Chains A and B, each alone.
Chain A
């Protein structure tokens, strides 16, 4: 049964039918009271009997009016009418009417069993339940017919008594009582299992029908005792009271939208913390007290509902005792909660739980969106670093191809001119040429320094090992270089080189060290860089803007840098750079 939490609709015809039934029931009840009053003082038993019938009819019609889609309403009303009709008809001295009354009175037991088992959806949940009702029907229809066939009642009013045989009648009666007892036991077992499988709100809601099942069991027990000659009248009265109370309790269950507020509040808190699909299902099942609860998500790609693992989920059909609450967003279905049908009778509860689940689903969706955006940001950062490196390489090449070549050519021309002048030329001209040559040499040196600072060619062509060795050769401090020949992506090698370059620059400028070590290791998924020196330490990680700038560049590659520099104890700079980087979009090399 699929419910979308709709409001009850009533039609005028049904209203009239219900009104008619109520009036009939009232009349029958009064008839019962009046009829038995004629025979003697009004017994408590008769009053209770009337009240049972009225309770079923009144509550049944009310439920029928407010939950028109649920068969339980008309079922309860019918049960009540059977009860009243049967008993009233046995007061009438006509054979046909009396016989019919007897039959209806006994048929009531099957109706009652059907009512208990089809609570709260109005339909039988399983084949087992159908079999149990089948047992009751077998007893109250064919066996009853047989019994009536052989029955010879004291008042001689049996219209069906065509083969009067008190012994046969007694035997069949006995069989009927045993079978009813069996049915009652099975009924208690079936409802008991349902009760044991659930907890919290579902158990509370099932209480009335459990009581009803126990009542039938006791009643059949008392019948067995009766046939052995013992009377259990106080038990009968008690059973009547229970039978009056049951419809009222069922009515209150059906109509009360009592929310397990504490349960739902806990649910919202828990879902806020742990929105993973498995925990979501458990949290919902806990809050609703329904261990059979399932959560299914609409998979637009597969065009069906799937569970958290992607396996297809079949929505339960009518009559299985399960119901489905759909969650929709803007008219598009998103998810479904499959739960025990009894929970439909508390639409407020379902609504608040659905609300909590919506929060969790929204949370999941937002988390996924944020994750996707983070990925985009990482990829874009990598693209920026890559673009920066490409640009630097281009500038270095341009400097080399352009300005450097010109300065080299200029220097050589000056040398040729100097040679041509020889030792005999004008000394002023000679000096001028010498000075020009010095200028050109200085300019070339500066240009080459600049190019090296922008991007050292040896790094691109020879890798980290050669580049660091070249750095070390130019440093005045004694440096041990421990770098393997492995190559890494240009972005990673660039970042590593500049970390080491900056670190060595600091060693030369501030550390007053005698020796230093540069160690680079390519591990599974990252590059590890360590630069140690034996200098004075005391480096403030926040102060050097060179190292801080490096931190940004490393962060763009998801790398980290740390400085340990106790005063007087040397300095160690360690950096880690992941070697598995998000791939930037392929762009044609310049």
Chain B
């Protein structure tokens, strides 16, 4: 279980995240630049994981997470942001996501740590 879809509007982060994740054994099967195309990609590609930026241009990342959770074969959603968890408080624990990792800490290891913990 190692396929992942990256949804983020910052191309530099998408590239760096892909490099880090693939170095850690993940397979990046898709990238999307906003919430709408991200949901479509999740539907068609059926990844195991989704790395989801909270600050998307068209919609709040939390809404996308909620929409993804409705799917029968819902992927595990990891929220991420340039800001740390303090900026979002208790919204991160509402159950639609596996967890939150600040962007600079994104790696295969940190995602697996969430899985083990949860």
User: Which A residues form the contact surface with B (CB < 8 A)?
Assistant: 400, 404-405, 407-409, 411-413, 415-416, 419-420, 440-441, 444, 448, 452, 456-458, 462, 466-467, 469-470, 473-474
Contact = CB atoms under 8 A, between A and B. Distances in A.
Contacts, number: 67
B17 interface: yes
Interface in B93-111: 102-107
Contacts of A448: 83-84, 86
Contact of A457 (B13, B17, B24, B83): B83
B82 A400 contact: yes
B17 A412 contact: yes
Given A409-B12, A412-B16, A457-B83, 14 more contacts: A400-B82, A404-B82, A405-B10, A407-B104, A408-B13, A408-B82, A408-B104, A412-B20, A412-B103, A412-B104, A412-B106, A458-B86, A470-B86, A470-B89
B34 to A, nearest CB: 18
Q: Main secondary structure on chain B at its contact with chain A?
A: helix
B90 interface: yes
B104 A441 contact: yes
Contacts of A419: 19-20, 23-24
B70 interface: no
Grouping DSSP codes into helix (H, G, I), strand (E, B) and loop, the A interface class, with mixed when no group exceeds half, is helix
B2 to A, nearest CB: 16
A415 B24 CA distance: 11
B16 A413 contact: yes
A416 B90 contact: no
Nearest to A472: B89
B91 interface: yes
A457 B89 contact: no
A467 B89 CA distance: 7
A440 B16 CA distance: 16
Nearest to A416: B19
B87 interface: yes
A413 B88 CA distance: 26
Contacts of A413: 16
B16 A456 contact: no
A420 B23 CA distance: 7
A456 B87 contact: yes
Contacts of B82: 400, 404-405, 408
A429 to B, nearest CB: 16
A444 B86 CA distance: 14
Contacts of B105: 411
Contacts of A462: 89, 91
A207 B101 CA distance: 101
Interface string B6-48: 0000101100110110011000000000000000000000000
